[in-house]
Amino acid sequence: MKSQKKYSLVINTTGLRCPLPLLKVQKNIYSLKKNREALIITDDPMAEIDLKHFCSNNNYLLKEIKKNNRDGDAQFFSIKKYQ
């Protein structure tokens, strides 16, 4: 996973449960410009399903998913806007 400094946008939804992580992403990702990447940080077990569906329907590419056992249930999603 890239350093957080490489991302145009970082959205931390840690502590939120479905559907709040997705709603927070939807609210904040609009500022992401074409070909830029956002890092989504979450510990919601449903986030992977929700973000895959969101990306496939909204001109975003889910580039990478990383799960970090050191941080409990933390998950990191790299999302790129392609249109």
Is 2's pLDDT higher than 70?
no
64 in a domain, yes or no?
A: yes
- 22, part of any domain: yes
| pTM value > 0.85 | yes
Question: What pLDDT is attached to residue 83?
Answer: 78
Residue 26 belongs to some domain of the structure: yes
The answer to whether residue 59 sits within a structural domain is yes
Domains identified in the chain, total number: 1
Exposure string over 19-44, b if 16+ CB within 10 A, otherwise e: eebbebbeeebeebeeeebbbbbbbb
Residue 75, pLDDT score: 95
Mind listing the pLDDT tens digit for each residue in 22-75? 999 999 999 999 999 999 999 999 999 999 999 999 999 999 999 876 656 899
Show the domain range for 22.
Answer: 17-32+47-70
